[in-house]
Structure 1
């Protein structure tokens, strides 16, 4: 019975944070090729709260839901064409970002400083995935891909990393206290 409750909680957390990502994706600032959106903020919050496995699974759910055509991506878009299009690499990067960010926190501790470092590393992972696909799909030079897919996002990305860290740690503490997510050994100390 306890195992079923843990599994249900795991699935609900993944679904909830995939939904959070879909909601924050609709907050966007349009740019010529790739808009600035709340998606990356949601990825950071998700990884900071849920950790590596659940965070990555939530992002897989998000990508699958959007890939099937449900309009959960930025600008209420959806469909496989988005995943294989110029901005699709960012969405695939969310999975790796959530895993690595959560993994860093699990191996260190769920504290703001560690969350900030993990979220900054995660930001660059997302940018690397996104820029690589942007370069390939649009047949850009690396310089053009960096100009379109990285440079406009660094300052905003650092701000979102700080915000995701602060929100994520604060919410995680409350969820652990409410017994809605399991605490790690580092949080017990």
Structure 2
């Protein structure tokens, strides 16, 4: 196996592990818990190439589907991928894809922030719509439960991702796995 393939496997695994670890930082504020999952997704999507970012998310989802306790609150299982909050899990793929495509190592702070805002918004849109249809809640209630409480915390997480990108860029530029 070539060095680049081994590096890819290692970094994809580290990406999935980062999501799993930050998923456990949970604050229950209603029907949808507040976690640091989207912080992990944004960091991965901003730092990794699209293929590797997507693979990290897919590995995370696969581990959770197999029953490993990697989802929020140390939960796991196939049913989580079809639960009321499943749209957020699937939305991580949208978040990672869009954000990774839109960012480069030399992206301005504004571009990194905007790319993460777009990716995060797509994740929330899918999570909101799936929640509404799975639970049968009204559009207003679904919005109040799945989006509104998270707007400010997620803007704060996106600001952290944006600043982290600035500090990580010099470190990551020498690693061939990351965006070039």
Both structures adopt the same fold (TM-score exceeding 0.5): yes
Which runs of 5 or more residues in structure 1 are unaligned?
Answer: 185-189
The answer to whether residue 163 in structure 2 is matched with residue 146 in structure 1 is: no
1:87-117: CA deviation from partner (whole Å, max 9, x where unpaired): 11101000110010010114x9433221111
Count of residues in correspondence between the two structures: 180
1:125-146: CA deviation from partner (whole Å, max 9, x where unpaired): 1101111111111011211111
Match of 2:128 in 1: 131
Match of 1:16 in 2: 14
Equivalent pair of 1:49/1:169 in contact (CA under 8 Å): no
Q: Runs ≥4 in structure 1, deviation > 6 angstroms?
A: none
Q: CA deviation at 1:173?
A: 2.7
Equivalent pair of 2:4/2:177 in contact (CA under 8 Å): no
Match of 1:39 in 2: 37
Match of 1:76 in 2: 74
Match of 1:110 in 2: 107
Which runs of 5 or more residues in structure 2 are unaligned?
Answer: none
CA distance in 1, matches of 2:133, 2:17: 29
The answer to whether residue 60 in structure 2 is matched with residue 62 in structure 1 is: yes
The answer to whether residue 153 in structure 2 is matched with residue 181 in structure 1 is: no
Equivalent pair of 1:104/1:118 in contact (CA under 8 Å): yes
**TM-score, normalisation: structure 2:** 0.94
* Aligned-residue RMSD, C-alpha: 1.6
1:9-44: CA deviation from partner (whole Å, max 9, x where unpaired): 112111101000100011111022100101010000
